[in-house]
Amino acid sequence: MQRVINLSLSIIFALGLILGMSLLLQSTPVMAQTPAEQSQVIQSALAYLQNQQQADGGILGFSGISDPDTTARSVLAFVASREPLSGVVSTSGNTMLDYLATQAISFTHDTTGTLFPGRVGLLLAAVSLAGSSPVDFGGMDLAAELEASLQPDTGAYSTTAQQGFSSGQASDLNQAWAILGLSLAGKSVPEGASQYLLQTQAVDGSWGAGDPDTTALVVTALLGSQPISAQDQVIQNALGFFHTTQVAGGGWKPSWDTDPLNADSTGWILQAIITVGEDPTGGSWTGEQANPVQALMSLQKPDGSIGGTYANTYSTAEAIIGLSGVPLFSLGSSPISHQAGLAVFPGDGSVYTACVSYSESSTSGLELLERTGLSVETATNPTQGTAVCKIGDVGDPSNDCFGSMPDYWSYWRMGENGWEYSVVGAAQSQVEEGGAYAWSWGAGDPPALLTFQNICEGVPFVLSAATQTTTPPTDTPEPTQPVPSPTPAIISLPTPSVTGPRSGPGTYIVYASVLIVLVALVIFLVRSRRK
């Protein structure tokens, strides 16, 4: 019996050691790809695309000849990778833009001459990012013709165009391409056009009947046209859809795809994540086996193409758009020329930030706040001006604006030595390009330090305790920016994430169950020996 007990204890010890090593391996971060490796994948993919360029300048498509759709996406891929298009020349001396100019009218119209809004949006995006004129390309004023297809009653860019499998009817995909194209061309997008997409989002956060590519394109288009911010619920819902549909390999695929990963879907979702401002290699986006960037890089073939079973120029171009790591809208001719950072501190240790853009030569602090679209309650006094009473759920109603005194909403601007209390009302104060402004709920103490770089350029920051001031505020609190309905958009800073595979609770339940069985075995053996 003693031998049995000793053998059993040895087995238990070995199993415990194995379990411990398993837990250790589970917590070991995935080796991250280096920038050099990622750059090499992109360069090989671009070389593949260039090798598929035909004499007319176009890129080979599914039909075995030059294809304007694939060529337009290839233009996006080269521009996003910061590679000059002037170096992509065919054996006959034609560029991709030369080819697209010859195909502009036939590609964007059906046989009756009716416009395809989605196709025009794609072509407009490519032409604008390539630096060509969006109002005079291939005999077309791309921007004007697209704008003319807007249906005022629905906000959709739609027509009756029909040819093959292509349609000009209102759809999430056509709308997203139209908005993205106009935005990259520096054209303003009517509110109704954005509202169309905001209203067609599904309960699960997707667009296009659950299509991952369309959903990612919509996110990219909405943020590029700047009707909403990354913190808005509609974008957060889309991110939730991406999280729930991410496969173990780290990427994504449509429901119909039988391959483990889809390069097109993963490429566009990467572009969306980057546009939102999140790190696709971070812990929150790392799957059981890899992160999205690693997943997409793993699909590269020896010839440089990127894709699954049917890797081709189309999938390769869309993969590059994601791997580039550059938001497309940052490369466009945005009509927005000025930016200022805004931070809202609700007094609970959290902060809401927004990088607000404006095209005017100057704007007031109140106007800047109103551009965020956050809900706010204000009160106006003929002698003291307008005061912000409540932001989201924090503060007082407008009929009792200072009911919580000494706590109230104070308005601050970042100066050379930190936050400076504004002695001028927000409606009268002028916002400076590249400035940082804050609204703080409390007794008038300055909030934690945040700079324009933290708010608008993604420079990491950690909230620290506010510095006490010896000079009490002497002015009436200024207006502030509310938080999106229905849930306040005041958000806490994310906690630092660790790159590595996620271990779900189920994993630890299994480990715990095995350990319980082992302990029970020990107790049984000891009791048997006593008998």
Scan for tokens 């005061």, then name that residue. 387
Mean pLDDT of the 260-273 span: 97
User: Rounded mean pLDDT of 165-190?
Assistant: 95
d(Cα 265, Cα 247) in Å, to the nearest integer?
12
What residue ranges in 384-505 does DSSP mark as E strands?
A: 385-391, 394-395, 408-415, 418-421, 436-442
- What gap in Å lies between CA 322 and CA 180, rounded to an integer? 16
- Whether the per-residue pLDDT at 171 is higher than 60: the answer is yes
Residue 529 predicted with pLDDT over 90: no
Q: How far apart are CA 227 and CA 241, in angstroms?
A: 21
Residue 488 has pLDDT above 50, yes or no: no
pLDDT at 422: 86
On the question of pLDDT at 470 being above 60, the answer is: no
- Distance between CA atoms of 211 and 264, rounded to whole angstroms? 11
Tens-place pLDDT, residues 419-431: 999 877 777 788 8
Distance between CA 488 and CA 482 in Å, rounded?
A: 8
Residues in the chain, total: 531
Q: Does the domain made of 338-456 have the CATH classification 2.170.130.30?
A: yes
Dihedral, CA atoms, 391, 397, 399, 404, nearest 10 degrees?
-90
The first and second tokens of residue 39, run together, are 């750059």
**d(C-alpha 430, C-alpha 368), whole Å:** 9
8 A C-beta contact, residue 19 and residue 9: no
Can you say whether the dihedral through the CA atoms of 178, 180, 186, 192 is positive or negative?
A: positive
Whole-number pLDDT of residue 122: 98
pLDDT of residue 458: 79
Give me the percent of the chain exceeding a pLDDT of 70.
Answer: 78
Report, in angstroms and rounded to the nearest whole number, the Rg of the chain calculated over CA atoms: 28
Q: Give φ, ψ of 208 to 5 degrees.
A: 65, 40
- DSSP string covering 213-233: HHHHHHHHHHHHH-SS-TTSH
Question: Residue 456: which of 229, 280, 180, 269 has the closest Cα?
Answer: 229
Question: How far is residue 219's CA from residue 234's CA, in Å, rounded to a whole number?
Answer: 9
CB atoms < 10 A from the CB of 261, how many?
A: 22
Residue located via tokens 């003693």? 2
What lies within 8 Å, CB to CB, of 153 at 6+ separation is none
| Dihedral sign (CA 150, 156, 160, 164) | positive
Given a cut of 50, whether residue 161 has pLDDT beyond it is yes
pLDDT at 19: 47
Determine the 3-state secondary structure of 157 from DSSP.
strand
pLDDT tens digits for range 31-69: 344 578 999 999 999 999 999 999 999 999 998 999 999
Is residue 168's pLDDT more than 90?
Answer: yes
CA distance 290 to 296: 10
Q: Are 232 and 240 contacting, i.e. CB atoms less than 8 angstroms apart?
A: no
Q: Comparing 24-33, 85-94, 111-120, 219-228, which segment has the lowest mean pLDDT? A: 24-33
Locate CATH 1.50.10.20 in the chain.
35-331
pLDDT at 523 > cutoff 90: no
- Give the closest residue to 179 by CA, choosing from 209, 156, 205: 156
Determine how β-strand 436-442 pairs with β-strand 338-345: parallel
DSSP string covering 158-213, please? ----EETTEE-S--HHHHHHHHHHHHHTT----HHHHHHHHHH--TTS-STTT-HH
Q: Which of 7-16, 189-198, 347-356, 439-448 has the lowest mean pLDDT?
A: 7-16
Q: How far apart are CA 387 and CA 324, in angstroms?
A: 45
Q: Whose CA is closest to 291, among 329, 335, 261?
A: 261
Residue 528: its pLDDT value, please?
58
State the Cα–Cα distance between residues 490 and 511, nearest whole angstrom.
39
* Whole-number pLDDT of residue 530: 54
Cα 264 from Cα 318, distance rounded (Å): 5
CA 55 to chain centre: 37
Amino acid at 386: T
CB 184 within 8 A of CB 121: no
pLDDT of residue 377: 84
Quote the pLDDT of residue 464: 65
Of 71-85, 237-251, 256-270, 372-386, where does mean pLDDT reach its minimum?
372-386
**pLDDT value of position 456:** 86
- The pLDDT confidence band at residue 7, using thresholds 50, 70 and 90, is very low
Q: Which long-range contacts (CB under 8 A, 24 or more apart) does 375-383 make?
A: 375/482, 375/483, 375/484, 375/485, 376/479, 376/480, 376/481, 376/482, 377/401, 377/482, 378/479, 381/476
d(CA 221, CA 185): 12
pLDDT confidence of residue 288: 85
Q: If you average pLDDT over residues 59-80, what whole number do you get?
A: 96
Residue 72 has pLDDT above 90, yes or no: yes
Alpha helices, DSSP H, located in 27-95: 35-51, 68-80
| CATH code reported for the domain at 35-331 | 1.50.10.20
Inform me whether the pLDDT recorded for 193 exceeds 70. Answer: yes
DSSP per position, 353-385: EEEEEE-SS--BHHHHHHTT--BEEEEEETTTE
Place of tokens 């233009």: 75
Categorise residue 205: left if φ over 0, alpha if ψ from -120 to 50, beta otherwise: left
Cβ-in-10-Å burial (0-12, 13-18, 19+) of 375 comes to middle
Residue 250 has φ and ψ, to the nearest 5°, of: 105, -15
CA distance 125 to 480: 36
Name, in order, each residue with C-beta under 8 angstroms of 421's C-beta and a sequence gap of 6 or more.
410, 411, 412, 444, 446, 469, 471, 473, 475
Residue ranges, CATH 2.170.130.30, the chain? 338-456
Q: 385 falls in which pLDDT band (50, 70, 90)?
A: confident
Averaged pLDDT score across all residues of the chain: 82
Closest CA to 187 of 145, 152, 139, 229: 145
